[in-house]
């Protein structure tokens, strides 16, 4: 009896399901429902607007899709197709294009030809009876439909390449009684859609995904006609959405710290859940642009960002039990701002001005083992090239700076050049046994030794043109010849130009020889590796390089150079905070040469950002035109800051024009002036009559400056902070909770 009741109950449930599916209301996503006709979408569900008022949408599937037209019931339009094209013309669509491939006398012949065409192309092929049988044969083999002549032309070209030379386009009128705003091309057949319907595009399997406009998407796509035209929506699981948001908002390539990625994931999840339904009148929750959050679909997904989303699953930020509005900004410039000073709304206790520093930030001292005093050749300090050659074991270390201004013997030069050749796997040069080993090295000697040691003769003879030689030497020649080699050296930046031409016997100093030899080596490759310092660990430097993370010990005799703004200097020690770009040379598994390319000398967490500080110069006329797009002030006279916020951002700005004046407040200042941020000062350039000719804005940061500083979060993570610490620093008084 129980078994009978169970079976009876089972079939009743199936019957109810069929009634609901065939005659009930469409499934509502983002609520209790998690599937559409067998396609599962786990809760929570979010709907992302991918476009509004679209004219044409082409959707493809990785392994098939189903298409439904949904009104009060479901109508399956297509089952397991690979591509559809939807057009949203508001005018009556009154023409289409088809291609006539061949003709046949009778039906049997036509079917044979049609099978032949189907075997050769992936498109709809059909047969129709020809109205002009007498002239053109009884039947036509056709391919179509095509919405545009351009699509039809492409297919004609493909058909002709397959041997169907008679293929041509036939334009036909579509006679419809009414105007249909939506059309769909599916299985090469053109169909009209009801303007009140919603179109559901569903992957045929859980492994399939949909693509449109060059991006791939998880979940399903829906299209519907709204007051703003045709709208395309991606409906999917919230965490699947975040997998396409987090890498777009905080690049895992540039900011590869898992704790920073986790902080971004929680902030993005909180923002999404807080702002659900923001566009409910159009049928979706958020847009895919930075207006909400930058969503790039599956194309942006990265293992590190995905790990961050999955390891923080369901975690959000709350203030007194409510979801916070988790705003975040790219680069805050040292301090975030109170929300009301930027957005001119109410004060939010969790979005308060915060200094972008980490109280637990530590530094790592790095010490040099040796240094070189400045050595100038042709106005250039050649200390770093000398240190590089010493580090590679090519020249000996000599702290006596005057030695580098003395001439070098031919024997010593042969030794240096031979060692350089060995580094590159070239055979060492041999000095002729003619008693001239102690003779000073000349420019001609240097060229001959380099050409022989590095086997450049073939390169010069075959890859360097005579016309180039004539142009570079401009009629001047070396008495002993070797003019082509001289011109080649000048062209490749090894030798300077004018002073070497006509001076083959010019004696070279040790410094010049070292500099020219370093340029020769540089023509092969950069012997220094590049990367970013993260931390010291167990007495070794941890660095991020192109090969991934590496750990290398420093040599006690290491050269240490600080490069600031392109100016290099040897220093006895440096304090590293993490994030510094570096160049280093290794020898015997240790760093023997280290150049640290410093960001601004600061402990601000976003100091490594390109936008930590910036400058913009704009003419008064140009700025006047821009401002008058928003405010009719006439010719711009001047700008005056009248109020600043806690972070020193401009809150109120008075624009003085010849016709009137206007006061601009908050974030709108950035748009009106066309700046990256509102944290700026104003300098002025004046003409001879004392009038302002240009405004120079010097500022810091990029974005609105409220909430979490993304580059700052990365800096905290690099200094050892976890994502909870990061979030609680930038969002005051919050607690984190897992809500699903």
Q: Is 15 exposed, middle or buried (0-12, 13-18, 19+ CB in 10 A)?
A: exposed
Q: Are 106 and 139 in contact (CB under 8 A)?
A: yes
Distances (CA, A) of 648 to 341, 599, 677, 705: 10, 22, 12, 11
Output the six-digit token pair for 672. Answer: 């009106």
Is the model's pLDDT at 23 over the cut of 90?
no
**Chain centroid offset of residue 722 CA:** 26
Q: How far apart are alpha carbons 415 and 222 in whole angstroms? A: 74
Distances (CA, A) of 28 to 47, 72, 77, 538, 648: 11, 13, 20, 57, 47
Of 445-449, 478-482, 563-567, 712-716, the poorest mean pLDDT is in 478-482
3-state class (DSSP) for residue 709: strand
Q: How far apart are alpha carbons 368 and 144 in whole angstroms? A: 75
Is the model's pLDDT at 499 over the cut of 80?
no
Which of 494-503, 662-671, 674-683 is the most confident on average?
674-683
For residues 577-599, give the mean pLDDT: 90
For residues 182-191, give the mean pLDDT: 75
Q: Give the count of beta carbons closer than 10 Å to the beta carbon of residue 205.
A: 15
Strands (DSSP E) found in 671-734: 680-686, 692-699, 708-709
Q: How far apart are alpha carbons 455 and 346 in whole angstroms? A: 74
Is the model's pLDDT at 12 over the cut of 70?
no
Q: Are 48 and 284 in contact (CB under 8 A)?
A: yes
Name the average pLDDT for the chain.
85
pLDDT of amino acid 7: 44
pLDDT band at 36 (very low <50, low <70, confident <90, very high): low
Is the model's pLDDT at 19 over the cut of 80?
no
pLDDT of amino acid 3: 43
Alpha helices, DSSP H only, in 162-285? Answer: 238-249, 258-274
Percent of the chain with pLDDT over 90: 50
3-state class (DSSP) for residue 101: strand
Longest dimension (CA), the chain: 118
pLDDT, tens digit (0-9, with 9 covering 90-100), for 558-581: 999 999 878 889 999 998 888 889
Q: Are 228 and 163 in contact (CB under 8 A)?
A: no
**Chain centroid offset of residue 514 CA:** 40
pLDDT, tens digit (0-9, with 9 covering 90-100), for 344-360: 888 999 999 999 999 88
Measure the N-to-C terminal CA separation of the chain; round to a whole number of Å. 40
Q: Is 703 left (phi over 0), alpha (psi -120 to 50) or beta?
A: left
pLDDT of amino acid 480: 64
3-state class (DSSP) for residue 47: strand
- The β-bridge partners of 185 are 85, 190
pLDDT of amino acid 573: 93
Q: Give the count of beta carbons closer than 10 Å to the beta carbon of residue 194.
A: 15
Of 48-57, 421-430, 624-633, the poorest mean pLDDT is in 421-430
pLDDT of amino acid 433: 47
Q: Are 577 and 363 in contact (CB under 8 A)?
A: yes
Domains and CATH numbers, the chain: 35-89+183-311 (no CATH), 95-173 (3.30.70.1070), 315-359+706-738 (no CATH), 364-370+527-597 (2.40.50), 393-522 (no CATH), 614-699 (no CATH)
Residues contacting residue 135 through CB under 8 Å, at least 6 positions apart: none
User: How large is the angle between the packed helices 710-718 and 258-274, nearest 10 degrees?
Assistant: 140
Is the model's pLDDT at 733 over the cut of 70?
yes
pTM comes to 0.72
Provide the b/e sequence for 133-144 (b: ≥16 CB within 10 Å): eeeebbbbbbbb
Rg (CA), the chain: 36
Of 24-28, 207-211, 248-252, 500-504, the poorest mean pLDDT is in 24-28
Q: How far apart are alpha carbons 598 and 243 in whole angstroms? A: 33
Q: Is 461 exposed, middle or buried (0-12, 13-18, 19+ CB in 10 A)?
A: exposed
Is the model's pLDDT at 696 over the cut of 80?
yes
pLDDT of amino acid 31: 43
In the block, which residue shows the tokens 């390169």?
459
Is the model's pLDDT at 523 over the cut of 50?
yes
pLDDT band at 180 (very low <50, low <70, confident <90, very high): very low
Q: Give the count of beta carbons closer than 10 Å to the beta carbon of residue 437.
A: 13
Q: How far apart are alpha carbons 469 and 486 in whole angstroms? A: 9
pLDDT of amino acid 126: 87
Which of 33-42, 195-204, 653-662 is the most confident on average?
653-662
Q: Are 349 and 319 in contact (CB under 8 A)?
A: yes
For residues 462-483, give the mean pLDDT: 81
Going by their DSSP bridges, the two strands 168-173 and 95-104 should be labelled as: antiparallel
Q: How far apart are alpha carbons 533 and 578 in whole angstroms? A: 5
What is the phi/psi pair of residue 178, to 5°?
Answer: -130, 175
pLDDT, tens digit (0-9, with 9 covering 90-100), for 189-244: 777 777 677 889 999 888 889 999 999 999 999 988 777 778 899 999 999 999 99
């Amino acid at each position: 009896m129980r078994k009978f009741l169970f079976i009876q109950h089972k079939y009743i449930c199936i019957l109810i399901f069929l009634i609901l599916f065939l005659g009930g209301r469409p499934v509502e996503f983002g609520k209790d429902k998690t599937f559409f006709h067998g396609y599962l979408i786990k809760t929570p569900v979010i709907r992302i607007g991918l476009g509004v008022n679209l004219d044409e949408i082409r959707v493809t599937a990785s392994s098939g899709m189903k298409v439904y037209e949904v009104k009060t019931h479901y109508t399956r339009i297509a089952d397991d197709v690979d591509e559809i094209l939807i057009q949203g013309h508001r005018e009556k669509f009154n023409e289409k294009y088809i291609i006539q491939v061949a003709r046949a006398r009778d039906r049997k012949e036509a079917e044979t030809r049609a099978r032949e065409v189907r075997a050769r192309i992936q498109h709809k092929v059909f047969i129709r009876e020809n109205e002009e049988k007498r002239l053109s044969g009884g039947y036509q083999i056709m391919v179509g439909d095509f919405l545009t002549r351009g699509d039809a032309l492409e297919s004609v070209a493909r058909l002709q390449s397959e041997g169907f030379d008679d293929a041509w386009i036939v334009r036909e009128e579509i006679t419809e009684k009414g105007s249909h705003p939506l059309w769909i091309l599916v299985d090469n057949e053109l169909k009209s859609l009801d303007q009140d319907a919603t179109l559901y595009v569903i992957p045929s399997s859980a492994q399939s995904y949909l693509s449109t406009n060059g991006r791939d998407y998880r979940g399903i796509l829906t299209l519907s006609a709204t007051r703003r035209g045709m709208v395309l929506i991606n409906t999917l699981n919230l965490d699947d959405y975040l997998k396409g948001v987090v890498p777009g908002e905080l690049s895992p390539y540039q900011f590869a710290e898992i704790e920073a990625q986790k902080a971004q994931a929680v902030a993005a999840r909180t923002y999404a859940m807080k702002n659900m339904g923001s566009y409910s009148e159009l049928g979706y929750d958020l847009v895919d642009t930075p207006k909400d959050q930058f969503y790039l679909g599956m194309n942006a997904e990265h293992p590190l960002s995905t790990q961050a989303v999955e390891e923080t699953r369901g975690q959000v930020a709350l203030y007194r039990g409510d979801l916070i509005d988790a705003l975040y900004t790219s680069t805050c410039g040292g301090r975030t701002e109170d929300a009301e000073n930027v957005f001119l709304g109410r004060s939010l206790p969790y979005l308060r001005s915060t200094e972008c520093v980490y109280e637990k930030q530590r530094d790592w001292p790095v010490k040099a083992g040796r240094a070189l005093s400045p050595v100038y050749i042709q106005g250039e300090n050649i200390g770093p090239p000398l240190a590089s050659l010493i580090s590679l074991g090519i020249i000996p270390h000599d702290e006596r700076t005057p030695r580098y201004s003395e001439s070098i013997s031919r024997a010593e030069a042969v030794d240096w050049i031979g060692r350089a050749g060995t580094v590159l796997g070239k055979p060492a040069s041999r000095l002729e046994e003619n008693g001239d080993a102690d003779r000073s090295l000349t420019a001609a000697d240097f060229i001959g030794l380099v050409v022989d040691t590095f086997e450049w003769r073939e390169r010069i003879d075959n890859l360097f043109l005579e016309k180039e030689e004539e142009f570079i030497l401009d009629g001047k020649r070396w008495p002993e010849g070797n003019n082509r080699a001289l011109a080649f050296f000048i062209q490749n930046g090894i030798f300077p130009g004018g002073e070497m031409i006509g001076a083959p016997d010019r004696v070279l100093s040790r410094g010049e020889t070292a500099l020219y030899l370093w340029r020769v080596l540089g023509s092969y490759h950069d012997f220094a590796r590049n990367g970013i310092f993260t931390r010291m660990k167990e007495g070794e430097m941890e660095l991020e390089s192109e090969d991934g993370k590496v750990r290398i010990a420093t040599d006690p005799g290491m050269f240490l150079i600080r490069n600031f703004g392109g100016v290099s200097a040897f220093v006895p020690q440096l304090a590293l905070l993490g994030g510094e770009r570096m160049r280093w040379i290794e020898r015997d598994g240790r760093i023997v040469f280290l150049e640290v390319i410093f960001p601004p000398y600061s402990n601000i967490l976003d100091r490594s950002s390109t936008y930590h500080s910036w400058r913009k110069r704009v003419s008064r006329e140009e700025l006047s035109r821009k401002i008058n797009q928003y405010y009719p002030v006439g010719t711009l006279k001047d700008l005056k800051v009248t109020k600043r916020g806690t972070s020193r951002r401009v809150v109120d700005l008075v624009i003085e024009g010849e016709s009137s004046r206007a006061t601009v407040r908050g974030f709108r200042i950035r748009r009106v002036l066309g700046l990256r941020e509102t944290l700026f000062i104003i300098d002025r350039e004046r003409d001879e009559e004392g009038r302002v000719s240009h405004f120079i804005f010097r500022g810091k940061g990029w974005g609105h400056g409220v909430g979490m500083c993304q580059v700052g979060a990365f800096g905290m993570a690099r200094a050892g902070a976890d994502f909870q610490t990061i979030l609680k620093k930038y969002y005051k008084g919050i607690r984190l909770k897992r809500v699903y």
